[in-house]
Structure 1
Amino acid sequence: MSLNKKNIHKIDSSAEIIILNKTKNLEQNQEELLENINFYEKSFNTYFDIKNNILYVSCLKFKKENIKTAFCTAIRFFKNLKIENLKINITQAKKELELQTIVEGLVLGNYEFLKYKSSNEKEKIKNINICTKSSSKTKEELEIELKKAFIICNSVNFTKDIVNNSPQDYYPQIMADDALKIAEKHKNIECKIFGEDYLKQKGMNALYSVGIASPHESKLIHLTYKVKNPIAKIILVGKGVTYDTGGMSLKRGDGMVSMKCDKAGAASIMGVIQALGSLELPFEVHGILGAVENMIGGDAYKPGDILKAANSKTIEVTNTDAEGRLVLADCLVYAQKNIQDFDYIFDLATLTGASIGAFGGYTTAVMGYNEKTKKKILKASKKSGELVGFLPFNDYLEKLLESQVADFVNTSANKNGAAITASLFLSKFIKNKNKKKWLHFDIAGPSYRQENWAYHSYGATGVAIRLLIKFMEDLKK
């Protein structure tokens, strides 16, 4: 993808993409044709003018997310055609678009996971020229904007690849290897890997117990992005369950098929750290990832077991399929013990189906005690296009976590408000002095969709990367 200051008509290309929400600027015969085929009946209809090699895409709501989907529609249209290059005017429908909007629509919309296809060769577009002649920005400003957009989109697609990888190929050691590769590529990123001996030594029995029946050793991964004189210190804690059978509380067959997605929280944090390595935002960011595989076997942990977490709190296991909160519990304790004077601590996890029930499958459920931080997340949500919703805590739901034999249970028999009770469980592992710094992100719905959704392809979406990057950019202002 390249920028071009020439007039759009003088740029040599195989085809042009034009996004329309009205017909005023078209020639009369073109206007009549589009009206006759009901082009504007709904958004994302397409018409290819083969004579002039122009693809028209309708976009009735000319907002960023709709525009991204329109460009996604266009790039998918050209996938199976032998088109070598395309051109796009940065001004569409008399509005100058942000390069971030164009790039996200094209790059994220073009993503496919073809690793396991016997024939995975597709016709590839060699270049997309973006005509910037009408732009109000300088060439240098546009180049910076384009570079940033690619860094973020490539990190999102990197995360998608991690989540989409099958469980036989992607297990805790592979996640640790990928984390090390990120550190090797960026001088401002460090990586530490800890195995099961460390987990046992540090009393991280909740995390350790989840992976005990797996042939693959559980890993605690600590990625650190550092710059000189950071303006804030942020901790991101991620659930990295590379596959989840449900353990002894076995999932039903259909519910198990997509459980490679249970590593999405950790994968998204890896994507954030990778992006930061190139964006060089002025923060210190720690990524704490609990990489485990929840399997069944003679040595698996069981309902009725009492686990002592790293903060010495005891947990009665009532359901081994509520494993993610056990992984996060020890990771949260580790983070607070080993990282001092931080400003924010967020955890990301595909934690509950209840969050999908609350908001549908496209929205991240956010919970925590700090209303100001929630407002910052909401602001970043609106700017990035990643949907968030907020669920409230209350004392009545917290009582559902009480245990007669331990400090608390890992899940209640009462399933009402299950996304909230899961978050309240995690709050037990946040020190009182840090509760205002903490937010929980339940990404169970938007992290993985078994459908094409807007400019997201079937499967992983790389959720929360753009949200968290935007959150940090806003802190910088």
Structure 2
Amino acid sequence: MKNILSIVAKQTKNNQTNAQASVVFVVDKNLKHHFVNEKQLKEFDYKGEGVFFVQETKTLYIGIERIDSDCLREAGCAAVRYFKNLHYENFKIGVYGDDKCMYALILGMYLGVYQFDKYKSNKKEGVLKQIFIVNEGYDKKFKLPEEDLMIRAQIVAQAMSDVRDVVNMIPYEATPEFLAKWSKQIAKTHKLECNILGKKELKKEKMNAFLAVNRASVNDPYLIHLSYKPKKAKTKIVLVGKGLTYDCGGLSLKPSDFMVTMKADKSGGCAVIGILQAVASLKLPIEVHGIVGATENMIGGDAYKPDDVLFSREGKSIEVRNTDAEGRLVLADCLSYAQDLKPDYLVDFATLTGACVVGLGEYTSGIMGYNKDLKDRFETLALQSGELVAQLPFNKHLEKLVESKIADICNVAGSRYGGAITAGIFLGAFIRKEFREKWLHIDIAGPAFVEKDWDVNTYGASAAGVRAGIEFINDIALRG
């Protein structure tokens, strides 16, 4: 996406803007709008659904249900996807809705440019370079978007695109060391503090659960700590991300079909890095830390085993009954480290469980934690950002399922049911009493990587968690 699309707001009418093509949204199948050639569309039996391009007038019609953020975001993305590989360098589009709607539309258009072709031998460069937003007079109460709104959309889209690129990268390239180097680059570019803990430092920190997961890998583990510290910040947020650059399941080996796409097990960690990048670019007046546990979960003679007992940084012992439940072991130690920073809010993002995908589907992230008001707040803001989320409730009966006979806790539940929740409960066991009401766990296993186009996402990585995280932090910066 980098610097290849320019979106310009012009205080002119439609017929005063010279563009090679136009985009018109048909709202709720209403073909009687003054920018719709009803007679012409009826000749082709277009009834206001889907996408239809009239070559004579060079007008792309896109049917949407209503004028709201979700519909406009997806429609903006669809418009750019349609034109980007054709021989049009620009198109024009009118003002639709208020600032929230226009922000969504612009973000969708920026995201429509995204494609991942790093490993393609024949790369196709898009021709589309510019979009004009013109004040066509759809509704006099609506105005052109302000420049800061457009800049914000570009910053968020850039962070999402960067995260998608890294999540889509193959595990041979995107190793824990690569994530550490990428983080250093982000820190240098955006003036963040960056502290990288290697194996020696992890041992000193007594991160034995984290280190056990890494033991059979030829690639060393790293804890990445990014910090954004503006002057006079009154609130501190700490984000924690699961950065499993590859997960074969360890000795509890995954079936081959389930091993494919496990390069995406680093999505939570990458999302955290992307959020820090955006927060710094937006210059939000709030202190934000990002903690990423970067490692692989592999097999070998030194692999940790089912039946092992691990001693975590927090002091709790963990019985291992399945080495494929490894992300929670890494997060347990990373959450312990994060709590030492004394956060006002603590949020982790992780592709933690297939059970979350079973329960909520491919497109929805699960929200868990102990504070109902905080969960409600995150849910509202995530939905507002365009990400689909739903709350999953803890309860005392499920807590009993992670009890161990020989250790403080077991890394898998004694039942196959409610697996996403019991994984969240496992993490909750490592949250100290003073932070329980400040902590949220976001399981992004469903939407992080989907092998088909959906909404504003292409095949592969979606940068799940980035929009929601930015919206949440921005709201805290504004309202506390």
Q: Is 2:389 aligned against 1:400?
A: no
Q: 1:293-332 alignment to 2 at 5 Å?
A: 293-332=296-335
**In the aligned structure 2, how far is the partner of 1:428 from the partner of 1:181?**
34
Structure-2 change in CA distance of 1:27 and 1:150 (3 Å): closer
**In the aligned structure 1, how far is the partner of 2:415 from the partner of 2:307?**
17
CA RMSD of aligned residues (A): 1.8
| Residue of structure 2 in register with 1:62 after alignment | 67
Q: Is 2:238 aligned against 1:235?
A: yes
Q: Secondary structure at the match of 1:9?
A: helix
Letter in 1 for 2:222: K
Report if the CA contact (8 A) 1:236-1:285 is conserved.
yes
| Residue of structure 1 in register with 2:180 after alignment | 176
| Residue of structure 1 in register with 2:455 after alignment | 454
- Give the alignment partner of residue 336 of structure 1, picking from 334, 339, 350: 339
| Residue of structure 1 in register with 2:41 after alignment | 34
Structure-2 change in CA distance of 1:159 and 1:411 (3 Å): same
Q: 1:8-407 alignment to 2 at 5 Å?
A: 8-21=14-27, 22-26=30-34, 30-40=37-47, 42=49, 45-91=50-96, 98-132=101-135, 134=137, 142-187=146-191, 189-337=192-340, 339-340=341-342, 342-407=343-408
**In the aligned structure 2, how far is the partner of 1:290 from the partner of 1:112?**
27
- Give the alignment partner of residue 11 of structure 2, picking from 5, 10, 34: 5
Letter in 1 for 2:13: N
Report if the CA contact (8 A) 2:48-2:62 is conserved.
no
**In the aligned structure 2, how far is the partner of 1:186 from the partner of 1:70?**
31
Q: Secondary structure at the match of 2:72?
A: helix
**In the aligned structure 2, how far is the partner of 1:152 from the partner of 1:211?**
32
Aligned residues: 468
Cα distance per residue 1:259-312 (max 9 Å; x no partner): 011000000011100001110111101100000011111111111111100012
Report if the CA contact (8 A) 1:219-1:290 is conserved.
yes
Q: With structure 2 as the length reference, what TM-score do the two structures score?
A: 0.94
Report if the CA contact (8 A) 1:39-1:58 is conserved.
no
Letter in 2 for 1:356: V
Q: Secondary structure at the match of 1:357?
A: helix
Per the TM alignment, residue 27 of structure 1 is displaced from its structure 2 partner at its CA by: 7.2
Unmatched segments (≥5 aa) in structure 2: 1-6
Cα distance per residue 1:53-80 (max 9 Å; x no partner): 1111111233221222222222121133
**In the aligned structure 2, how far is the partner of 1:343 from the partner of 1:35?**
58
**In the aligned structure 2, how far is the partner of 1:426 from the partner of 1:402?**
13
**In the aligned structure 2, how far is the partner of 1:367 from the partner of 1:86?**
43
Per the TM alignment, residue 414 of structure 1 is displaced from its structure 2 partner at its CA by: 1.1
| Residue of structure 1 in register with 2:446 after alignment | 445
Cα distance per residue 1:311-347 (max 9 Å; x no partner): 121111100100000000000011112x12x211011
Per the TM alignment, residue 110 of structure 1 is displaced from its structure 2 partner at its CA by: 2.3
Per the TM alignment, residue 25 of structure 1 is displaced from its structure 2 partner at its CA by: 2.0
Report if the CA contact (8 A) 1:239-1:324 is conserved.
yes
**In the aligned structure 1, how far is the partner of 2:362 from the partner of 2:249?**
21
Report if the CA contact (8 A) 1:39-1:46 is conserved.
no
Letter in 2 for 1:158: D
Structure-2 change in CA distance of 1:148 and 1:125 (3 Å): same
Per the TM alignment, residue 96 of structure 1 is displaced from its structure 2 partner at its CA by: 7.4
Q: Secondary structure at the match of 1:40?
A: coil
**In the aligned structure 1, how far is the partner of 2:52 from the partner of 2:454?**
21
**In the aligned structure 2, how far is the partner of 1:106 from the partner of 1:183?**
27
Report if the CA contact (8 A) 1:212-1:301 is conserved.
yes
Letter in 2 for 1:190: E
**In the aligned structure 1, how far is the partner of 2:372 from the partner of 2:43?**
51
Per the TM alignment, residue 36 of structure 1 is displaced from its structure 2 partner at its CA by: 4.7
Per the TM alignment, residue 212 of structure 1 is displaced from its structure 2 partner at its CA by: 1.1
Letter in 2 for 1:185: T
Report if the CA contact (8 A) 2:96-2:142 is conserved.
no
Report if the CA contact (8 A) 1:99-1:142 is conserved.
no
Cα distance per residue 1:376-416 (max 9 Å; x no partner): 11220231121111111111111111111111110024111
Letter in 2 for 1:287: G
Structure-2 change in CA distance of 1:136 and 1:401 (3 Å): same
Per the TM alignment, residue 127 of structure 1 is displaced from its structure 2 partner at its CA by: 1.1
**In the aligned structure 2, how far is the partner of 1:143 from the partner of 1:473?**
18
Q: With structure 1 as the length reference, what TM-score do the two structures score?
A: 0.94
Report if the CA contact (8 A) 1:192-1:221 is conserved.
yes
Q: Secondary structure at the match of 1:439?
A: strand
Unmatched segments (≥5 aa) in structure 1: none
Letter in 2 for 1:23: L
Report if the CA contact (8 A) 2:243-2:267 is conserved.
yes
**In the aligned structure 2, how far is the partner of 1:290 from the partner of 1:412?**
23
Per the TM alignment, residue 37 of structure 1 is displaced from its structure 2 partner at its CA by: 3.7
Structure-2 change in CA distance of 1:96 and 1:242 (3 Å): closer
Report if the CA contact (8 A) 2:67-2:101 is conserved.
no
